[in-house]
Structure 1
């Protein structure tokens, strides 16, 4: 499915992983997808979100607040590291050697996994793009897919901005399909 994303769409999905890791989470939720969309400033989704006064730095803070309120603490993957350490595997040494061989940041452990809600949002991206007659998925389609998942934390982050998901959807649709019925 990744091959159907536009360059901006691919960058947003990759940025969502970077955002999750930078905040110390070992998973990628809808909230991290939202951050990834904001990180790709030239993408349609980022433009629309900025029009609705949703900015990246504050969204990061709101993400941490929402997750902490839900009882989800940033662990930086420490439980996985601890498990490997108990088996005699030194993850820090592996990371040091990988950085020396392949460049700083080449090795990230643990690799964040997508939550069920984030996978649903990405799957819904396909449906949103197809409904609009598109065969590639841009940031705008990812945002539309994200807005269809009420169980994820992205909508809670947007609520912190007093942003209406229906209004976001309308703005995106007006931008990409101005002559729709």
Structure 2
């Protein structure tokens, strides 16, 4: 039977030993789930499934994330594109307009409006004669980004796939236009992953605020600014702690893990 080594941080490794956790069984179960989910995403390259239902290949995707992908498909079809590409997925994130990924971008000082300008400045891609009955394929890069999206959700220990995970997938995919745009604007993978973690903590913090604080953010713009501020507040100490830890371990210049 093939052997796969699993490397754990020292503290976690000690905790696992003390608790007597059956590592092989846990890893096998987690890997089986991961393989099923990743394989399901790969199959989306064969055709776009029904994005309105609660079952199927996108069952673990949140309603907002499914809405983003649906917008991407619609934009590709409207542009008579041969495939649904990463730029269509990025377009979907921007067009949906209420997702956590946009707050993450703001927290790392990338304005969604700036991303929109870069995206709108692209030359049209390859087109083909499509109509409402044509089944579009995801491009190789888009399918890869979706695979990475699910991988990031699993790596973060989440049982759902959100727009924040899709942002990470787009950034990490090396060949897509969307990743090129995001990275050129400063969306470095490791920093963005930290920002996602902080954004989730900031969202919880914001939801826990009292009604008087929530009332000051009653408008859509106020809510966006309040959440972005909460994300920045949560992100600052996280970054400081991680930077100190990396300096202590001599990891400051290393690339993030795959």
- TM above 0.5, yes or no, is yes
State the partner residue of 1:26.
82
Tell me, yes or no, if structure 1 residue 145 matches structure 2 residue 202.
Answer: no
After TM superposition, give the deviation of residue 2 of structure 1 in Å: 0.6
Quote the Cα distance in structure 2 between the aligned partners of 1:42 and 1:27.
25
Which structure: larger Rg?
2
Residues 172, 179 of structure 2: 8 Å contact kept: no
Question: Which of 121, 131, 143 is the equivalent residue of 1:119?
Answer: 143
Runs of at least 5 residues in structure 1 that lack an aligned partner in the other structure: 81-106
Residues 171, 183 of structure 2: 8 Å contact kept: no
- Alignment CA distance shift 1:24-1:62 (3 Å): farther
After TM superposition, give the deviation of residue 25 of structure 1 in Å: 2.0
- Alignment CA distance shift 1:112-1:154 (3 Å): same
State the partner residue of 2:198.
174
Residues 31, 157 of structure 1: 8 Å contact kept: no
SS in 2 for 1:135: coil
TM-score, normalised to structure 2, is 0.49
Residues 81, 126 of structure 2: 8 Å contact kept: yes
1:81-92 aligned at under 5 Å gives the runs none
State the partner residue of 1:85.
none
State the partner residue of 1:165.
188
TM-score, normalised to structure 1, is 0.67
**1:17-38 Cα deviation digits (max 9, x unpaired):** 1222334423111111111111
State the partner residue of 2:95.
39
Residues 147, 169 of structure 1: 8 Å contact kept: no
